[in-house]
Amino acid sequence: MCFACSPRNPIGLHLRFSMDGDTCRTTFTPREEHQGWNGCMHGGLISTLLDEVMAQWLWRQGISAMTAEMTTRFSRPVPIGVPVNVESRLVEHKGRLWALSARVILPDGRAAARATAKFLTVD
Ligand SMILES: CCCCCCCCCCCC(=O)SCCNC(=O)CCNC(=O)[C@H](O)C(C)(C)COP(=O)(O)OP(=O)(O)OC[C@H]1O[C@@H](n2cnc3c(N)ncnc32)[C@H](O)[C@@H]1OP(=O)(O)O
Cα(118) to centroid of ligand 1, in Å?
8
Per-domain residue ranges of the chain: 18-121
Ligand 1 atom showing the smallest separation from residue 119 Cα: 29
Helix, strand, or coil here: 50?
Answer: helix
| Res 5 pLDDT > 90 | yes
The overall average pLDDT reported for the chain is 97
* pLDDT tens readout for residues 7-58: 999 999 999 999 999 999 999 999 999 999 999 999 999 999 999 999 999 9
H/E stretch holding 43 reads helix 43-59
Report the alpha-carbon distance of residue 88 to residue 49 in Å, rounded.
10
Does the C-beta of 53 come closer than 6 Å to ligand 1? no
Indicate the class that CATH gives domain 18-121.
Answer: alpha beta
Sorted by sequence, the CB contacts under 8 Å of residue 67 that are 6+ apart come out as 51, 54, 55, 117, 118, 119
Ligand 1 atom showing the smallest separation from residue 120 Cα: 29
pTM to 2 decimal places: 0.95
Report the alpha-carbon distance of residue 110 to residue 24 in Å, rounded.
18
Ligand 1, atom 13: closest residue by C-alpha: 67
